[in-house]
Structure 1
Amino acid sequence: MTVRLSVLDQSPVGEGFTHSDALRASVELAERADALGFTRYWVAEHHHSPGFAGTAPEILAGTLLSRTRRMRIGTGGVLLPRYEPLKVAEVFSVLASLHPGRVDLGLGRAGGPAARFPQQVQEVSRLLGLGGGQGGGAGSLPPLPPLVSAAEIPPRLWLLGAGTRSAALAGELGTSFAFAHFLAPDPGVVALEGYRQGLAASAWGPQKGVLAVRVVTADTQERADGLALSLLLWRSRKDLGQDRPLPSVDAARRHRWSTAEAERAAVNSQALVTGTPERVREELERLATAHGVDELVINTLTHDPADRVRSYELLAQAFDLSGQEAPEADRAPAAA
C-alpha cells in the first residue's frame, strides 16, 4: 500500500536550547519537509511548558505558510475551549484567503471546560461557510451566516482526539479526523472505525481519517536507541510531574533511572516506533493497515534539532515521498 506521511511538530525544546531556538528549528524543519514530499505540516498548542515552545499555533502556521510552497499547513491543534469560535474562524479565514487550498484547521478538546466543544465546533464550521460540518449538514444549531470575510476556499476542518468521543463527533459533523496514537494507542482502531461508521450513517462521503504516531529513526540502530532513550526519559519525567526540556542522548545514558521512571518508560515505549528506517517503515505500514488509514502524521521529538531533521529525511527516503502526489482534496489550486 502507498502510505502518505505528514508532520506533527510540537516545537520541542532541548536542554541548552531556548524557546526561540525551538521555534526557528520548526521553521527550518517545515522548509525541509516541504522539499522532501510530506503532505501536511501541523503545529501544536502547549502552554506553560519548558519542553514545548509552540504557544500560538495560528501565528506559527502563518509564518510556515509564507516559508513553504507545496504542503498543507495547519494546527494540531487549536485548543478550542480556550477561545471564542468567532475569533478562531476569523484568524483561519484570513490564512485561507492568503494561502488558498493550503490551510488545515485542527481543533482539540483540551485546554478548558469541554461541555460546549461540540457546539463550538459547529459554530466555527458555520462561520467558515462549511455548514454543519465539512459536508455542510444542518446539525442541531440555528444557521449562522458565514463571515463577511470568509475565504473562497475555506480551511479543511479536522477534529483531533485520543479516544472515541471526538471520533464520533467528527463522524457526526463530517469533519476530517486524526487519532493521536502517540498519546493513547489502544483505542485507535475502535475510534477510527467509529468515525467511519458515523460518516457513513450521516452520508458525508468517504474519509479514512489519519493516525498520528511518535517516531524516531536514525542512520544506525545505536543512534536510534539513544534518541529513543532521551525521549523516554523526558516523557517519564513529564508523567511524574517534572516538565523539563528534552535531555541529550549522553545525559539520558548517564541518568540513573528510578523505578517509577523505568515503569513509565516501559508504558510509553508501546506508543513509540523507533529503529532503522527499514524497521520503522515496516512497523508504520503495519499500523496503517491495522487502522485502515493511508496517511500517518509523524511526531518526532529530539534534543538536537539536527537529529529531528535527519529522522524526517530518512523517513522520506524510506517511503519514497518524492515520487508521491497528494490526493485531489489536499492539492492547492494552480497559480494563475
Structure 2
Amino acid sequence: MKVSVLDQTQLMEGMTPEDGFARTVEIARHADQVGLERYWLSEHHGSAALAGSAPEILAAYLLARTERIRIGTGGVMLTHYAPFKVAESFRVMSALAPGRVDLGIGKAPGGTHLPTILLAGGRSLEDWGPRKTDRFPEMAGELLGYLADGLPPEHPFSGHLQVSPTVREAPDVWILGTGPSSAQLAAEHGLSYAFAHFINSDEEEMAETLGLYTDGWRAAGHAGKPRTIVAMRAFVAGTDDEADWIARSALHGQFWTHRGRQVKLPPPEEALTDVQTEKERDEIEMIRRSWLIGSADTVQKRLDALTEHAPIDEVMAVSPIFDSAKQKRSLELLKEAAAGI
C-alpha cells in the first residue's frame, strides 16, 4: 500500500503562519526524501489555526522545493472558482513539473458562510443564497473539458476556445468526497477517488462508498483500473504509548472543533486539560478509536483490517504532530506499516 500526506498547515501554539508554511515545506521535503507517493495541501478560509487558504500557490512552491514526489491539492473547493481559471493554473503547474501534479477537487466550502460569500464576489449578507454545491458535477465536467481540450459539442464555446498553456501532460484529477454522490461522479468520469475518513469515520459507510466507486468504474467500461485513497488521521511511533502521546495535541484540536472552534495545537503535556467529564472522556476515546494510532505493528494490523472490507490502494496521513521530528518519524513508520499490505 502506498503512503501519502494531506497537510492542512495546522498551526501549533506559538507558531505564526510563516512558521507553519516553513514546517509544511520541511515535511514535504522529508516526504520526498523517504519515498512517499504524494503530498497534498488543503483549502481552508477564515481560520486562525489552519493557514492553508490557497493550496494551488503552496503546491506550486512545493513543486519547486521537491524532486520526485507528486504534489497537489486536497483539494481545490471548485464551487468557489471559475473552472476555466483552475484549468489554466494547473496547466501552468503541469508545464513547470510534468508528471508530478495532482488536482484534487471537492465541493465543501472550506470555511463559514462569510468567506463563501466573499469568494463568490458578494459584498453583503444579502448575497448569501443557496450554496453552489449542487453545481459541482456540472463544474467538474466543465473543468475536465478544459483540461482535455474537449468541451462537449453543446457547450457555447466548443470549438472556439484555446485553454493555455498547451501541455505535454495534464494534471491527474481526483474527486474528493465522503459519500455516494462523489463516488458516483468519479466513477462516471473515470477519475480517481479520495475518501476523507478524517471527516467521515464511519467505516461501514466508507466501505460501501468505495465499493460503489469501483463497481461504477468497471460498469462504465473505463480503461485502466480504479484508484482509491483513504485520508486518515495517523500517528505512528516506536510504541503504542508513545503514539498515544504524540496524538494528544490533535485530539485536543478535534475536541474543540466539535465545539465550533479551531484552535492552535498545544504540546502534548498541555493538551486535553479541558476534558473533565466522563462524557467528554468517552468522546475523546471514540475519536481516538477511529484514528490510526500505534506502533508500526499495531497500525499494520489496523490497515489489514480496513483493506479486508474496502478497496484501498493508498493511505493518506493527516498527522498534525507538535514536534516536527516526531511527525517525520511517524510518516516513516507509517510507510513501514503499509509496506506489507
Give 1:163 shift. Answer: 1.2
Give 1:233 shift. Answer: 1.8
1:95 to 93, 99, 115: 93
- The residue that corresponds to 1:241 in the other structure is 260
- The residue that corresponds to 2:141 in the other structure is 122
Structure 1 distance, partners of 2:166, 2:57, is 19
TM-score scaled by length of structure 2: 0.86
Aligned residues of 1:129 and 1:150 also touching (Cα < 8 A): no
Q: Does 1:200 align with 2:215?
A: no
Q: Does 1:147 align with 2:163?
A: yes
- The residue that corresponds to 2:3 in the other structure is 5
Aligned residues of 1:10 and 1:52 also touching (Cα < 8 A): yes
Structure 2 distance, partners of 1:223, 1:70, is 31
The change in CA–CA distance for 1:274 and 1:71 in structure 2 (over 3 A counts) is: same
Q: Spell out, residue by residue over 1:225-284, the C-alpha distance to the aligned partner (whole angstroms, 9 max, x if none).
A: 122222212101111112211121011264443456434323322321101122112212
Counterpart amino acid of 2:93? L
**1:47-196 superposed matches below 5 A:** 47-111=45-109, 113-129=132-148, 131=150, 143=158, 145=161, 147-186=163-202, 187-196=205-214
**1:280-319 superposed matches below 5 A:** 280-319=299-338
Aligned residues of 2:251 and 2:272 also touching (Cα < 8 A): no
Between the aligned residues of both structures, percent identity stands at 38
1:221 to 240, 252, 263: 240
Give 1:211 shift. Answer: 1.3
Structure 1 distance, partners of 2:51, 2:326, is 18
Aligned residues of 2:256 and 2:262 also touching (Cα < 8 A): yes
Give 1:303 shift. Answer: 2.4
Counterpart amino acid of 1:97? A
Aligned residues of 2:88 and 2:164 also touching (Cα < 8 A): no
Greater mean alpha carbon deviation, residues 191-200 or residues 225-234: 225-234
Counterpart amino acid of 1:217? V
- Residues paired across the two proteins, number: 315
Give 1:310 shift. Answer: 1.9
Greater mean alpha carbon deviation, residues 283-292 or residues 121-130: 283-292
Counterpart amino acid of 1:58? E
Structure 1 distance, partners of 2:153, 2:201, is 30
Counterpart amino acid of 2:198? F
Give 1:141 shift. Answer: 5.8
TM-score scaled by length of structure 1: 0.87
Q: Which secondary structure does the structure 2 equivalent of 1:158 belong to?
A: strand
Greater mean alpha carbon deviation, residues 254-263 or residues 299-308: 254-263
- Aligned CA-pair RMSD: 2.3
Aligned residues of 1:10 and 1:44 also touching (Cα < 8 A): yes
Structure 1 distance, partners of 2:279, 2:234, is 23
Contiguous gaps of at least 5 residues in structure 1: 133-137, 322-336
Counterpart amino acid of 1:67? R
Aligned residues of 2:197 and 2:231 also touching (Cα < 8 A): yes
Structure 2 distance, partners of 1:140, 1:283, is 48
Q: Which secondary structure does the structure 2 equivalent of 1:17 belong to?
A: coil
